[in-house]
Chains A and B, each alone.
Chain A
C-alpha cells in the first residue's frame, strides 16, 4: 500500500509540474467553484428572502396564545440571541361623541414591528408613508373604515374603554394584518402602554396575545425546535409560510429557479470533468502498460492512479470551494444594494456539498476511464494500438448517470424535479446524438464542393465520427443550457412575473348580505368598476371525517391542527373557477347539482389526510351536513382571485345563511370609491390587498434579479467548461497539424482547417441546442412552473451563430499555440506519449 502512495505522490508531483493535470484540476475547480458559489450565494439570497418574508409577520416567528405569553418564552428567545416584542388584540367598542362601533383593538409594544414597516396616511386613503414603529402612547391609528363609521378625522379624540386617545393617522397597512384577514371589525391600533388605561383587559377577557420573535435564521430555527413541543393547546407558532400562501408560493418558485441554476452548473461541470479525465486517461495508457509489463498488479495500477486523481480531486475541490466563496462575495457585494440592502453573511455549510460534489463528479466521470487504464494489456508496450479505448462505454455512462442523478437529487432535494431534469437531459442527449449522426452523414456530401481547408475540417469531423457525435452532444447540451439560461430564462421569468398581472384584484369586499348583491353591483357599475362576480360563502365547522369525530389534538402537524380547529368557508359553484385544476376525482355536471358533494383544495386534503370518496360532516348554523368528496383541486393562490378550500355544487347550501365575497381591481387614485362604498354599505368590510400585492411583486422582482445573477455565474461556468472541452482535443490536433505541416501544408491552411472543423461543429451543435432549448423551455413552463410561455423562433438562429462563432473562436484560440511548436518536436513527443 505504501508503494502505491509513493508512486502516486511521485506521479502527482511530476504531472503537476508538467501541467498534465491542470486541465482536469481546472475543470474540477470550475465545477466546485460554480456549485459552491451558487450554494453560498443561494444561501445568502435565501436567508435574505427569509428575512424579508419576516416583514409579512412583523418578525420571523410569532407565538400566538389565548393567554399572556409566558415571560419564560421571551427569556428563552433572548437567551438564543433573538429580539422580541409583545402585541395583543381584543374586540371592544370604540366611540366618538354619541357614535360607537365594534373594533379590533391592537396594542403594540414600542419595538414593534421587529421586521417590515407599517403603512400610515395623514387621511383615509391618502398617500401612504412607511414607518417602523407603532403609535406613541396617547395616540391611536385607525382603519379608514373605522374613521368613516365614527365620522373621525385626524386630530379628533376616540374613546376605547376608559381611555381617550388622539387619532393621529389612518392605518393603510400592518405587517401582520393577515392573521385577522377575515376579522370583520376594523382595526384601532394603540401603544401597549395605553392598555392598562382602557381597563378592558381582565383575566376573563377575550384577548389574543402575540410574542413576535426575530433574529438570525439558525437561532430562530433552534428556538422553534426547542419550544414547539412544550406549547400548551391554546398556544401555537406561526411563520411567514403559514400566513400568506401567495408569498410562500412566490418564495417556493424563486427557490426552484435557484435550484435549477445550481443543477445546470452540476451538469456542465460533469461534461468538463468527463472530457478532461478521458483525455488524461488516454495519456496514462503507455505508462500503465509499462508498469503492468514490469509486474505491477492491475489493482495496484488502479490504486496508484486513483490515489493520484483523488488527491487532485481533493485539492481542486478545496480550491474550488475557496474560489466559490470569493466569487459569491464579489457577486453579493455587487448585488447587495439591488437586493434591498446587505445580504446576511454566508455560513460554511455550502462548502461541504461543494467538496462532496467535486469528489462525486470525479468518482462518476473520472474513475471509469481510470479503471480502463488499470486493465490496459501489458502487450501495449509492443503494439501501441492495443488497449486504446473507443468511445465511452456502458460503465462510463452508468457511473456518470449515477453521479449526475445523485447530485441532482442532492441539490434539489426533490425527487420529481430530479426525475424531470434527468429525463430531460437523457432525452436531449439521445436526440442530440441521433441528430448529430444524421448531420455528420449529410456533411460528407458537402466535402466535394468546398476548398481545401473546409474539406480538411469536414473530413476531420467525419473521420472521428464517434468523437464528433460525443462532442456534438456535449456542445449541443452546453449551448442548449446556455440558451436556456440567457434567452429562454428571460422569457420564463417574464412569464412568472406576469402570473400576477398588473390588474390583479387589489380590493376584497366581504360580508355582503343577500339583499345587498344587486345594489352593490349597480353601485360598482355606476363608478366605472367592472361588474364584480360575487361568490357565496357559508361558515361551517368540520366535525367528522368518514364518521369519526374530528379531534384537532390528534393531528401532529400544527398547521393541520389549526385547520381542523378553524371554521371553514363553504362555497358553491357550477363551474370550476379560473386558476383551479382538478387533480383527483371529477368536477360535477349539471345532473349533480343539489347532491351532497364537495371539492377540496389539494393542500388542505393532504394536511388533513382526505381523499376522494371520503365523507365529511359539518355543523352549519346548528344543523348537520354530510358531504362526500368528489374531487381534489389545485388552486393558484397567487392569482389573487377569490378562492375557497371547500366548494359544493349549487343547491346543496340553499337553506343555510350565506354572505357573499368579491374581489376587483381598483386603479390607484380611486380611494374615493371605497369611502363612498363604506358610507353606502356600512356593514360590508373592505380589505385592501395592495400592500400584499406590492410585497409579492417585490419578492418576485428581487428573486428574479437574484436568479438572473445566479444564472449569470452559471453562464460564465458554462463558457469556461466549453473552453475546457475544446482544450482537451488540443493534443490530437497538435499531432495532426504536425503531420500536415510535415507534408507541406502552410500554417494558415492548417489553422483554417481547424477553424472550419470547429465552426461546422459549433453551428451543428447550435442548431440542435437551440431547438432543444425551445423544447425544454416549453416543458419547464408547462410542467414545472405552470404558466404560459411563448417560444422565440429566433432562439435556434442565435444558437447557430453563437455556436459557430463561440466554438470556432475558442477552438482556433486554443489550437493556435499548437502551430508554434515545430512539427518534429510534436512527432517525437507523440511517439512517447500520445
Chain B
C-alpha cells in the first residue's frame, strides 16, 4: 500500500556527488532529485559504476552529497552530523547488502539481535529468535556467519534488517552474491516481509527481473536519473 497523498518519506533535492581522482574531479551524481512515498518500492538500476550504490548511501545517510539536501522520515540528513544520522538510521532504516555484512564475531542470532540491543530493547533474544524463524533459520541461530551458506547469510541479514520494523529498507544488490535459485528465494522473502510490514523499499540492482517487482524503476546513467520502466512517474 503506497501512500502518495502526504509528505514523501525520502526526498533528495539536486544531489551531486563529486570525488577527486588522479584525472581530476569525477562527477558521480549530477543534480539528482527524487521523492519516494511511504510504502513504495523503487528500484534504481543502471550499468556497473553508474553510481547506484553511491546514491543509495547518500539517501540512507551513510554518505554525504557534495551538494544538495536529503530528507528521510522528516529529518534533514544533510544538516546532521554523523552521530545524528546514525540515530536516524537506528530509528527508521534497515539495510541489506550484496556482501551480507554480518559481523563475523557474532552468531546468526546475535547479528539479528544487534539493532534491537542498540535500541535498548529488553526481549531482543526472543524477538531475534522469532525473526530467524520467520526467515526459516530457527535451527541456525548459534552458527557463525562462516558456518552458513550465502543464501542463509543473506536471510540472516534480512532478519536483521527487519528487526526493528524499519520505515525504509535499503537493499544494495541483495542477490548479487547468490545463485539464481537461492536469489529467487531471498527475493521472495524480501518482498513478502516488505509487503507484510508496509516498509518503503529502495532497491539497487542491475537485475531486470528483480527490479520488475518494484512499483517504480529509475535508471541512473552518467550521474543523471531518469524513469526506466512501467509504473514510473
Contact = CB atoms under 8 A, between A and B. Distances in A.
A287 interface: yes
Nearest to B85: A378
A757 to B, nearest CB: 27
A833 B144 CA distance: 13
Nearest to B61: A378
Nearest to A295: B90
B23 to A, nearest CB: 17
Contacts of B103: 287, 290-291
B74 to A, nearest CB: 17
B146 A832 contact: yes
Contacts of B217: none
A6 B117 contact: yes
Contacts, number: 88
B106 interface: yes
Interface stretch (A128-136, A221-229, A379-387, A599-607): A379-387
B105 interface: yes
A636 interface: no
Contacts of A379: 57, 62-63
Interface residues of A, number: 32
Interface in B94-118: 95, 97, 99, 101-106, 110, 114-115, 117-118
Contacts of A289: 101
B86 interface: yes
Interface in A191-209: none
B64 to A, nearest CB: 9
Given A10-B110, A379-B57, A382-B62, A293 B101 contact: yes
A678 B111 CA distance: 96
Contacts of B62: 293, 377-379, 381-382
Q: Which of A3, A20, A290 has the most CB of B within 10 A?
A: A290
A298 B102 CA distance: 19
Interface centre among A289, A290, A295 (most CB of B within 10 A): A295
B104 A295 contact: no
A291 B63 CA distance: 15
B199 to A, nearest CB: 16
Interface string B150-184: 00000000000000000000001000000000000
Interface stretch (A11-19, A475-483, A488-496): A11-19
Given A382-B53, A382-B97, A832-B99, A293 B105 contact: no
B91 interface: yes
A10 B110 CA distance: 9
A829 B147 CA distance: 11
B86 to A, nearest CB: 5
Contacts of B145: 832
A833 B104 CA distance: 8
Given A286-B101, A287-B103, A294 B115 contact: yes
Contacts of B87: 295, 297
A598 B73 CA distance: 89
Interface of A: 3, 6-7, 10-11, 14-15, 18, 20, 286-287, 289-299, 377-379, 381-383, 829, 831-833
13 contacts: A14-B105, A291-B103, A292-B82, A294-B89, A294-B95, A294-B114, A295-B91, A295-B118, A296-B118, A297-B87, A379-B57, A382-B54, A382-B57
Given A6-B117, A298-B86, 17 more contacts: A3-B117, A7-B117, A14-B106, A287-B103, A287-B105, A290-B101, A295-B90, A297-B87, A298-B83, A378-B86, A379-B62, A381-B97, A382-B53, A382-B57, A829-B146, A832-B99, A833-B104
The 3 closest A-B pairs by CB, nearest first: A295-B90, A14-B105, A379-B63
